[in-house]
A and B are shown apart, each in its own frame.
Chain A
Amino acid sequence: MTAFEYAPAPESRAVVDIASSYGLFIDGEFTEGSGGSLKTINPATEEALAEVAVADESDVDRAVAAARRAQQKVWGPMPGTERAKYLYRIARLLAERSREFAVLETLDNGKPIRESRDVDVPLASAWFFYYAGWADKLDHAGFGVDPQPHGVVGQVIPWNFPLLMLSWKIAPALAAGNTVVLKPAETTPLSALLFAELVQQAGLPPGVVNIVTGAGATGAAVIGHADVDKVAFTGSTAVGKSIAKQIAGTRKHATLELGGKAANIVFADAPIDQAVEGIVNGIFFNQGQVCCAGSRVLVEESMHDELIDRLKSRLGTLRLGDPMDKNTDIGAINSARQLQRINELSDAGEAEGAVRWSADCAIPENGFWFPPTVFTQVSSAHRIAREEIFGPVLSVLTFRTPAEAVAKAHNTPYGLSAGIWTEKGSRILWMADRLRAGVVWANTFNKFDPTSPFGGYKESGYGREGGRHGLGPYLVEGSTR
């Protein structure tokens, strides 16, 4: 049989114009920051992309003041129909400039262009399109007649889906009539800054959207600002807990979207080819740097060997390398720090007695890379079965009965997502009833949609994003704290 080699198919980066330095976006304009600057790099090459201003407390203060003015004078009083039209504009502009955003996202984040082009950016646009339509229908959302926005919302987002997480945060907040101060992640600020330019193109009134870049201290300043009414955070459970503690005793509301350790549960009667694709998509999408990643496979014992064989042979076909290449399946890990965490937990897996297998693929010389890896003979007590790795590392465990599968699935502090693979409908519903997870994918995995609520049980956080449910936390009457 002839083996066909892939020719390189690199996406052009000419479509995007990266400035050498960026300021903060406050009150409709780019301004200097007072907290110094940081460099953002391309994790696939370690090349510096741009210098980005760091917002200190005084900058955050300016941003919050601008947001407050805009909320009281312009955005709050504005009829919902007008707010809706602004959000529709943003959705359309994102679609028009989608290639530019995709390329920039891939350069700054390291994710394959195939994913930023086909998932991140289209979904970001769809998110604005969906919530736009809510802006003048809030009376019908089930949160009472004439529900009110909180006011100023402080939002802090992670580096794994920079633009998409921005849209999850900003679209519902604005639809509800709030204004926002958003802090993108330290390692991936560029798509948020390009979004700020798009906000200018949309003619959005100054102060409605403010983007302050920086690291943890900037985020803490946003969350802690006395004039912020509501906070929304996506990131690690450790930081989420510190935020919950920081706002304790105040009247600030919070939505927390934290870590996960999803179980992908495969029964012996599962449609095997679909299950293998689902598992691969579940843990190797975005290099496994996904809070709802299916990082544990629980497979019915009789099916274990066959599944592992098929999984290994499928993983052998994945292409790791240049994220800008349209054929690439596995891109770069986002940062040296994240790679170190993945290495540390994988080493712990081996040290604790699990068996490690990695796909045989060439690792580029520069940048941060980790090959698709599967651990077998994993026990529930191993760290790799309990802790979030946030990388392309899969832990495989077995079970004999549905009840045992549920018990093992629950053996983490998290409860974000779960997967079920079986052809038996009644078993799907039985399992779905019992799994304590906010999103249950049955015979599919890692599907997202602006109409569909997303968010966790237990230490995976609280509040939902997406759908009608995702609107509630941005309205006083829809907040249950």
Chain B
Amino acid sequence: MSERLDVRKTYKLYVGGSFPRSESGRTYEVVSADGAFLANAAQGSRKDARDAVRAARAAQPGWAGATAYNRGQVLYRVAELLEGRRAQFVADVAAGEGLRTARAEAAVDAAIDRWVWYAGWADKVAQVAGNANPVAGPYFNLSSPEPTGVVAVVAPQRSSLLGLVSVIAPVILTGNTAVVISSQDRPLPAITLGEVLATSDVPGGVVNVLTGKTAELAPVLASHMDVNAIDLAGAVEADGVTWGELEALAADTVKRVRRPPTDTEPTWLTDASLNQVLAFVETKTVWHPKGT
């Protein structure tokens, strides 16, 4: 009897809660660390990037308007689903990053734990990053963090899941929505994460995932008029574009820019931080007189 032929997955983009092909019809070959064919990924275009921004903008007020408790629950639910797909992520990460199983398991476990850590911040960040201000006069005065809006995320090139989670979760937990450019050569865990998000309670459009050439997609988002901020973590070691070029493009719209922490990609093993959250919030201060 012949061996059973496996059913392969078609990898597409994740935009607005659906999985469209690139409008350009293009794909590119994704290979494992040792060069074996893994899949054809969608090669996102400038138009796909603009569509993703539109989806992110449409989803933003609703997501930000959910209660912090609700966002925390929704994000925790994502961790539950990640755990359920653990074996698949381990296989994807091992193949894409060329890791032995034990190392891949450690990376996936760290990614799930990191997602849990960030989920818990949703209803705490306002208490830690906001405060009352004792102004010299009869006024109520309160400063609170608010989401900055639509955030473009250039995901790390090497760490295809742990790095990815480390830059997505801190952006969306406060109510931002994200347009993510996955690792160019290791895009498959990002699309699988999209499948997790699509089957979780995260509303469509909150996270949008583009696969393709970083040098083609990142400048579109860096200069996009309706993107408020950009995380350039994956612009180190990217093909054909530097983080400095992207930061310069972002200057024209006064985007908030999170630079890559170092000039080579970190391991992301210890990179959970509140600053990663605060890079994408605005402080709003409200005054009101006191009187009878």
Contacts and interface: CB of A to CB of B under 8 A. Distances in A.
Interface of A: 126, 142, 237, 240-242, 244-245, 248-251, 256, 258, 428, 432, 436-444, 447, 449, 451-455, 457-462, 464, 467-469, 477, 480-481
B70 interface: no
A468 B131 contact: yes
Interface stretch (B26-34, B75-83, B192-200, B254-262): B254-262
Contacts of B40: none
Contacts of B139: 444, 447
Interface in B113-159: 128-129, 131, 133-137, 139, 141, 143, 148-149
A481 B244 CA distance: 13
Interface string B263-292: 000000000000100110011111111000
A432 B146 CA distance: 11
Interface stretch (B4-12, B204-212, B245-253): B245-253
B258 A444 contact: no
A34 B13 CA distance: 59
A469 B283 contact: yes
B243 interface: yes
A461 B257 CA distance: 12
State the 9 A-B residue pairs at the shortest beta-carbon distance, nearest first. Answer: A249-B244, A244-B251, A248-B247, A480-B279, A449-B135, A248-B248, A245-B251, A451-B133, A442-B288
B214 interface: no
B275 A248 contact: no
Contacts of B253: 459
A459 B284 contact: no
- Which of B129, B131, B136, B284 lies at the interface centre, i.e. has the most chain A CB atoms within 10 A of its CB? B284
Nearest to A479: B275
Contacts of B250: 244, 248
Contacts of B143: 452-453, 467, 469
A462 B137 contact: no
B287 A241 contact: no
B254 A443 contact: no
B228 interface: yes
Interface in B228-252: 228, 242-245, 247-248, 250-252
A236 B282 CA distance: 20
Contacts of A449: 133, 135-137, 141
Contact of B287 (A237, A441, A468, A477): A441
A455 B257 CA distance: 16
B153 to A, nearest CB: 15
Contacts of B243: 249
A142 B128 contact: yes
Contacts of A245: 248, 251-252
A244 B129 CA distance: 25
Nearest to B263: A251
Residue in B134, B141, B143, B149 with the greatest tally of chain A CB atoms within 10 Å: B143
Given A248-B244, A447-B137, A438 B278 contact: no
Contacts of A440: 284-287
A275 B119 CA distance: 42
24 contacts: A240-B254, A241-B252, A242-B251, A432-B284, A438-B282, A438-B283, A439-B287, A440-B284, A441-B287, A444-B139, A444-B287, A444-B288, A447-B135, A449-B136, A449-B137, A452-B135, A452-B141, A453-B285, A457-B282, A458-B254, A459-B254, A462-B254, A480-B278, A481-B258
